[in-house]
Amino acid sequence: MNSYLLDVPKDGVAIRCDPDSVACVDEPVYLDHTTDDELRLLTIYLASDLQPGASYVLDLTFSGVMNTDNTGLYATSYTSSGGEDK
């Protein structure tokens, strides 16, 4: 995940099996996460690999400044195929 200008606290990451995923047998165990300011990357470390075919829910708590210049966490808009600004 791009982490530029975001603060993710140590207790701000949680991952769990999607309740609708029958392929998810073992709940993932979150160990830690790091951010690399140069690469602008958030890396999440788990105790074991995720199970292929299973679905998971990732909950992130973070803070940052909402920008309009397409850096970090930013707001943007687009024009729909019907010509409506969204």
pTM above 0.85, yes or no: no
User: What integer pLDDT is reported at residue 64 of this predicted model?
Assistant: 87
From the number of C-beta atoms within 10 Å of its C-beta (0-12, 13-18, 19+), residue 52 rates as exposed
Burial track 7-44 (b if 16+ CB lie within 10 A, e otherwise): ebeeeebebebeeeeeebeeebebeebeeeeeeeebeb
Cα separation, 83 vs 80, whole angstroms:
5
User: What integer pLDDT is reported at residue 13 of this predicted model?
Assistant: 94
pLDDT digits (tens, 9 = 90+) for 11-59: 999 999 998 988 888 889 999 999 998 998 999 999 999 999 999 999 9
In one-letter notation, the amino acid at residue 74 is Y
